[in-house]
Chain A
Amino acid sequence: MEILKFSENHLAFEKRLKIFLDQEVVPHIEQWEKEKIIPKTIWKKMGEQGFLCPGLPTEYGSIGGDFLHSVIVTKQLARTNHNGLAAFLHSDIVVPYIESYGSVKQREKYLPGCVTGDIITAVAMTEPDAGSDLASMTTTAVENGSEVVINGAKTFISNGVNCDLLVLAARDPEEKDPHKAVSLYLIEDGTPGFKKGNPLEKMGWKSQDTAELFFIDCRIPKANRLGRKGQGFKMLMAKLQQERLICSVSAVYFSENMVEWTTRFLKTKRNKGEITINSQATRFALVEMATEVKISKVFMEKLVQEHMAGKNIIVETSMGKYFSTDLVKRTALRCLELIGDFGSLEKCPVARTWRDSRVTSIFAGTNEVMKEIIARFTLS
């Protein structure tokens, strides 16, 4: 069934990463979930070990890997059963904007830090009144000579508190066509007028510092614009394929882990009256989940392969995103039912996975938006 071919290099990387996460991350997760943020030092440690931005060219200090390294990072992070350390957001969603659209100067200035973990990134698109309808965003960027003045607010921004560098989508208030109005800008933490809110209280992803961001006459040099003016939407659309794909990767691995854990747990319950591995209904439930996960994994791996070959798979990655995130939610719900009473306690790992997985059908474009995209491309 193997679709993805991992080399010795990949496997050695994975082994190192697993040890790192077990030592530096896993023992602290409960604490971080309470604090609603992970320490910046963890990002630095990840960077030092070459676990961030593995696919960037080596001239920026990266290990010179490929997207399979990103898949491995996502897989091993899923095993830790938390989402505070959003490495795939940084490496595979935000940094690619800088890599693809940054000027030579911008890339030289920021990418090395992104690799070392000295520069933690975030991307700010969503606003309180502009979620699925991104084009209706109201944060403005007024380009005035050599500077840009930004006013507005963004919300639900992952890495919002920890970020050193933000990729911001903002509109030119003079441009009438919303699809031509948006540009992307690089904003450094500490820029006067750029304020960060406190981490938002969420159902899950508790160790992730998701926050609101505020811009009050925030002035940045025009040299901080990323790419050409008015090309914001085009750039966002081009990068969403990878974003949605990485969401699928994460969802499939979380699903796989839950089914494995639940199966092992049920094997330890031997008493009549409890749900055990011996009951026919239980066996069928586990088999059904394993089947769905397997099928979803094969699709995901095929998409990774096609993506790495440079194919345009907007439709398929949208399908994958909604399908695999529905799967991880559904799997969590079903596993908890099988686990029973113990599943109602936070000390059961599936409880956290369930809470964390709930957001996946909402972020990176809701699953309803995914279906709209697929419909638009296939049903016209």
Chain B
Amino acid sequence: MDFSLSKSQKGIQKAAKEFAAGEFDKDLAATLDKEGRFPEKIWKKAAQLGLVGVHLGGDCANNLMLTDHVLVAQALCAKDSGFGTAVLNAGRGAECLFLAGNEKIKDRFLYPVLGGSKICALAFQEAGCDPDFLDIRATAVQEEETLVLNGEKIYVLNADNADFFIVLCRIFSVEEPKAKISMVIVEKDFKGILISPKGEKLGTRMSPLADITFSDVMVPVSNIVGNPGNGLSIASKFLSIDRISLAAMAVGIAKGALDRSLVHTKMRKQFNTVIAAFEVTQHKLADMAIKIRKAELLTFEAAWHIDQGNFEPHHSAMALSTAAKIAVDVADEAVQLLGGYGYMTEYEVERFYRDAKAIEISHPSGPWLKNIVAKKVLGKIKKT
């Protein structure tokens, strides 16, 4: 088993690292985080360099290169948790279009996202509905070539900045009275869309959240991704990819926190020694490194499965539930290692901590991920 990166993988990793080193300004990050603003210029540059959706560079659904995306996500988030997550989340959902969109949809929506001229936002979640969206209530009634969409979606990331939403809804029509859960693209300028910002966030503040109400929104039938009724099958594949993408961001954040801890502990002197000389400090740093490696390997393996065409959900669930928690642990320890400075926004690690925590507690929840893994591990159980 060869665990080393290929030449092309090393190249992508290097490109991402160099981009981040050149563009991710520490002070700008602090400002945008404080103001809750999206880094539009930096996102465009990243996209134009091909760093957004690098896994979608192939020409068909069998050609995902998720392992490349994992490397990019880690590199960007290690340099800056805010910029990294914001830039990558601007393309969150584009995978659905790659997996199931026809050429027209790809031309109008996917390529502009990859190119940095459009931002997409996912509108799947609804209040009180299952994390696997089996019981969503948003409805689109088909009248000839138009769908009339009504429904409420919650916790939509980047709703304000998005140019279009990828919405899961049930399509009814006179010919097909049995509602089929489908995926449709709703463009920002359609009438009847009400965006309600959810206010200040704890972390990943450069990507604001909002609830969206769709009231009699007219959506052309040509905006259906794939076919009516494909919604959940596309979503299920997408969610496996999405979990890995989030896991990769978390791994990157953890790496960035460790990097900063190493720099600080090797430089900071107390009691006539650099604090890196203390045994407990060394064990902490070792623990951080071990945790990161665990998360990194699980994430990479999960991405590798996707690249082989295996979308089984438990790989990505293991990766995300591990990586998200580890990022929080490692960033937390980084704050402690930096002492009083760790608590100051100027020293960055508290922001890495907040960004890691935001990823961990946002949908999908930890317990849900564990349920996915348990299902795989247990198989079918006879309750009685």
Contacts and interface: CB of A to CB of B under 8 A. Distances in A.
B366 interface: yes
Interface in B156-178: none
A337 B361 contact: yes
B24 interface: no
Given A203-B350, A368-B280, A344 B362 contact: yes
A27 B170 CA distance: 44
A363 B155 CA distance: 36
Interface in A343-364: 343-348, 351, 354-355, 358-359, 361-363
A126 B270 CA distance: 12
Contacts of B155: 341
A358 B343 contact: yes
B345 A345 contact: no
A269 to B, nearest CB: 8
Contact of B345 (A203, A271, A348, A354): A203
B130 A131 contact: no
B343 A359 contact: yes
Nearest to B132: A273
Interface in A226-276: 270-275
Given A337-B361, A344-B358, A273 B344 contact: no
A345 B362 CA distance: 10
A271 B270 contact: no
Contacts of B342: 362
Give the 5 A-B CB pairs with smallest separation, nearest first: A271-B128, A203-B350, A133-B270, A346-B200, A273-B130
Contacts of B360: 337
Interface in A155-169: 155-156
A380 to B, nearest CB: 18
B257 to A, nearest CB: 14
B290 interface: no
Interface residues of A, number: 47
Interface stretch (B61-69, B109-117, B144-152, B201-209): B201-209
14 contacts: A202-B344, A203-B354, A204-B343, A273-B128, A273-B368, A279-B367, A329-B332, A336-B357, A345-B199, A345-B202, A358-B335, A362-B339, A363-B340, A366-B339
Interface string A194-225: 00000011111000000000000000000000
Nearest to B364: A340
Contact of A343 (B202, B270, B332, B370): B202
A137 to B, nearest CB: 11
Contacts of A281: 367, 370
B131 A361 contact: no
B346 interface: yes
A362 B340 contact: yes
Give the one of A136, A203, A281 with max B CB within 10 A: A203
A202 B357 CA distance: 17
Interface string B309-339: 0000000000000000000100010011001
A204 B357 CA distance: 15
Contacts of B199: 345-347
A172 to B, nearest CB: 20
B343 A362 contact: yes
Given A133-B271, A281-B367, A333-B328, A345 B209 contact: yes
Contacts of B340: 126, 131, 155-156, 362-363
A153 interface: no
Given A282-B367, A339-B361, A341-B155, 18 more contacts: A132-B339, A201-B344, A201-B346, A202-B345, A273-B368, A333-B328, A336-B202, A337-B361, A340-B362, A340-B363, A341-B362, A344-B361, A347-B199, A354-B202, A354-B357, A358-B343, A362-B343, A363-B340
B270 A131 contact: yes
Given A336-B357, A336-B361, A362-B336, A200 B367 contact: no
Given A281-B367, A341-B155, A346 B202 contact: yes
A129 interface: yes
Nearest to A340: B365
Contacts of A359: 343
